Every structure is written in structure tokens, then in C-alpha cells.
Structure 1
Amino acid sequence: MNQVAHGINWREGDVVITSDREHNSNLVPWLKLAELGVELRTVKSHDDNTFDIENFENICAEVGNKLRMVSLVHVGNLDGVEIPVKTASKIAHDHGAIVHIDGAQSVPHLPVDITDIGCDLLSFSIHKMLGPTGMGVLWGKEHILSELEPICAGGGTVTDADKSGYSLKEIPSRLEGGLGHYAGISGTEAALDFLSNYDMQKFAEQEIRINNIISEGIKNLPNVEIIGPESARERGGICSILLDGIDVQNTGILLDEMDSVFVRSGLHCVNQWFNDKGIEQGSLRASAYAYNNDEDAKRFVDSFSEIIETLSR
């Protein structure tokens, strides 16, 4: 995303639109463009965190020909809620914008058809799909990638250079400055080869089933609120939980120490959503993946329920 944000030749007055549920990785790069005169507009979600497509369309129309980029998370890492990116892409294109989709939480969990979505750019992380850290993918239409200025220039990015200037190679080499992360590339290949043996739709259904067990098992506990729609089917494999009067960090530690249940606690790099609601401690997030099963979900429910009922007395 940084390559996209800092590789485009921006004009003062250009506008970028995102949602109010973006990971900082799809927020901060656009905020940094303010020094170039680029404005960031955000689309406020519905109360249940589903995407307000009507609000989005209204903002696109209001911005008009100043709209340069729409960058939306496909599936939120906060809550698992999916944005209708195919519809959003069409609306954005009708207003002349480039469309970038953050697929970090969708590509590892769902069948993703880039052609069907209709986006211009899509990025995702490899560490979320059984691969090594420090690796990511930027897919894009050739004419857009070819116009990006590299944010990391070096020997491998140019065909020639002297004191008067330089000539960039064609993509992808022009955007891959520096020595390649060969160990990471090998690990990425192994992860993708492994996942290619499986049906991603079955992965998605498995995660929803696990999330449903968790959601149904904890939804009536005291001081507990699940972020997002009530139905687990609308939250994929993520159950993100707000705790009233109970420390989320300590709850996560207790789950680990009591029953070796590992969850995430905190703001999950979605600071703007929590800040807007005045929630300082963040949430407790249980995230299912292909290696989890029903027993894991029941184990979480039992351990979490015991902790909450004890701390709520």
C-alpha cells in the first residue's frame, strides 16, 4: 500500500476515500499525503459495522472529479465484516477513481476473484496465509503499476543510470529495489503451493461454523458484546469482543495460562474505530483459521465463560 500511496503522481486537491474500519496500514499512508494537498475522506459504517454503500456513493458524488483513489478493506480484521467491493468498485470507476482493495483478511480465508471484483489494485500479506513474515503481494493492472514511481530505488530497478538521470525497468523489477528476500520468497511459494491443494470456500465455511459455536456460546454472558452483526455468517472467522469493566489484556493472558487458548487483545491496528467510540482498551479477538476445529471453539467458550463469570461477580 505504501508503494501505491507514494508511487502515484498526486495533484493538490486530489481526494482518497477509505472506510472507518481500516487497518492503520490502509490509513496512515493516505494520511501522510496531506503534505501534498491530498484530502482523505472516510465512509462511516452502519451501527452494526456493515458498509454504508449509499453513504459511499454520496461521498463519491460530492467529491466529483477530485476523486483519485478509493482504497477499501475487503474483510475487516477488526470484525470479519465484508465490504461489497464489487459494487464499490463500479461506483468508484463511474467517478473516475482508481480502486485499491486491502485483501489481507480476505485472500487467506475466501475464494477471491480479482476479475469479478473489478478492482485496479489488490494487496495482501503472506504471514496471514501460513507463510513467512515480511512478505506481501501487490497485484495491479499493468498500465497502473507501470506508472508508479518506485519508493525503493536501486541497481535492480533501472536499465541504465548516470549523472544526468536514469531509466526504469519494466514491472515488476522497477518496483523491487534492493536485494530480494529469497528465504521469504521460498516460504511464500511453499505456503501458496500448500493452500492450492484445498478448497478456499470450504475453509470459509469451516471458519463460519467455528465462529458460530463461539458466538452462540458467549453472546449472553454478562459484560460481553460482540462487535459487528449478530450472525456469525456476516463476520467470517472473527469474533471480536468488547468487555465492560473487565480488562481485555488480562482476559487474554488468563485464557493462555488456564487452557493454552491464544487470542489477540487490544486495538488490532484499527485505532480510528475505537477512538471514535471512546473505547481505550480495545477488544478481545478470537480468529479462526483452517487448522481450527469445533473442539477448539468449545474450548474457548468454556474457558472464556469461566473467566467472565468469575470476574463479573
Structure 2
Amino acid sequence: MSEAEAPAVVGLGYVVVETSRLEEWHRFGTDLLGLAPSSLKVENGFALRADERIARFIVQDTGTGAPEGIAVIGWEVAGRRRWDALPATLDEASVPYEIVTGPAAAQRGVAAYARVTDPSGYTVELCYAPVVEPIEQFVSPTGVRFVTGEQGLGHVTQTVSHYDESVDFYTRILGFHVRESIDLAIRATFAGCNSRQHSIALIDGQGVSADHHVMLEVDSIDDVGRALDKVNAGAAPATVGLGRHWNDKMISFYMETPSGFQLEYGFGGLRIDPDRWTEVRQGGRGGASLWGHTPVQSLRDAAGMKGFGAAVEA
């Protein structure tokens, strides 16, 4: 891939969550997901690690009654050359931005970031030079190892109010490459910026934007199973049962975070060669998964299991 063709960003850097449930989020992040507390000092909140990066999840208190959910998605820019070229890229596309450095950027665990708003109203931060902590190694409280590195933190899926404009923003302006699309009962685009099969998925919300999910990948199917056992025991509400997606081959399940959006916890995601990938469109009757991924309520109704996923009713 030539320099001109390379995406402006190279992976999902961090996720900022705003919540009034800090203690619940800390338990969820550490005891269930296996993220580790970070030494990064966050005003009115805390940070969690998934690897040597000092901050992968940044959780901040919004106060009682404030909106819960994903406040910011941080995308990592590939080095100084790309960072220095970013303002011109945004100016050419007539995208307003704010460059943030100093203590405010340090709260994200990066040297600097450019804050923009995408066409569907999501706050996006294009970050540069993340802080790493290689000496104090990442040690998961649950013993898991996350698949990150050059694939970034994971992927995000967003329901977007302005679908065509959002696809254009992430692909034409930020340089994500479309891996596949769906134009059947739903419209959706899956796009990537590294060897992870996709780093972002955009679903046509027909005028509505809403947080959908963040995906974290671990390197053992047993760790997925252990987390699922905890969820079925009531650690978090289950939302979608175990299954395998057709596109990225991820074996995963979904749970509800303390802020209401979903988190996909998976293993075995497909790796691709970005230079050799052929964009495809899904046809036939449509569907997200090769097997499984049945909504939890449907599983309970089919099996008549009053106790299954009891946390969903809580």
C-alpha cells in the first residue's frame, strides 16, 4: 500500500465513557472484562488498560441524571508525518476541528489529538503519540490477554443518522478501506484501517444515531467461555448468545455495559492483508452470523429457561 493510499488512522486507540456509575464500571471493566487499572490520573474518573498503552478505556463521572454512554471514540494517527498532514486533510474536506495538547491531551494518555464531529454527531478524536507503560507490564485481573498491537484496541459499531455522509467521512476523508457492505433489510458498511478485518461498522439508523457496541478480542476461547459463565451468573446482562460472525469469523457473545451500550467479547477474529483484500457485498437472505448470536430473550423463550440470563430482568 502506497503512502498516498494508507489510511490517516491505523487503529482504534481508546474509548471515553461518561457515566454516573463509576464503581459499577470499575467492577465491570476489571472483574468481568479483565482490564487492569491504570496509573493515569483522570479528572472525575479513571482509566483502564488492555495492554502496554496507559489508557484504552477512560471512564468519567457525568453526575446523577446525566446521559450515559460513549462520549468519544479515539482513533490513532500513524506517526508524525500523518499527524502533521492531518489539518490540511480536514481543511480540504471542510471538517471543523480543534487541536488539543498539554494537560487536556494527557487526560487521554496521548501527546495531542484533533477533536471533530462526524456527520452523525459522534465526537471523534484523532490522537497522536499514545503513552505506553512497558516497564509496569499489563497484568489482567482475570488472566486474559487482549489482541491489540497493530490491530488497535478492537472495533466499534455505530448506528448512524446520516449513513451515506458517515461512510464518506470515514472512507474518503479518514481513509478507511471498505471491506464489505450490506444493502438488504439493513444497510451497513464494514471498514478497516489495518489487518483487523474491520475496525468500524456503520449501520443505517434512518435518521437516528445510537451507541451500538465496542468489541474486545482475547486470545483464548476459554476466556470467552469463562466471561460468559460470569455473565450467565449475573455479572452483567447478557444481550446476544454465543455465535460466529460470517465476515470477521469472530466467536463471541454480547453483554450490556453499565452505561447501556453493548460490548462484544470475542476470540479468533480474521486477519487480512489490506493490499490483497477484495471488497464484497453480502447477498442472499442476509444475516450477521454463520451460527448462533441469538438474542438472549429469544433463547430463553425457546428453551423455557426461567433462570437463564436472569440478570437481563434485573
TM-score interval, smaller chain: under 0.3
Which structure shows the higher strand fraction? 2
**Higher Cα radius of gyration:** 1
Report the TM-score, using the length of structure 1 for normalisation: 0.27
Report the TM-score, using the length of structure 2 for normalisation: 0.27
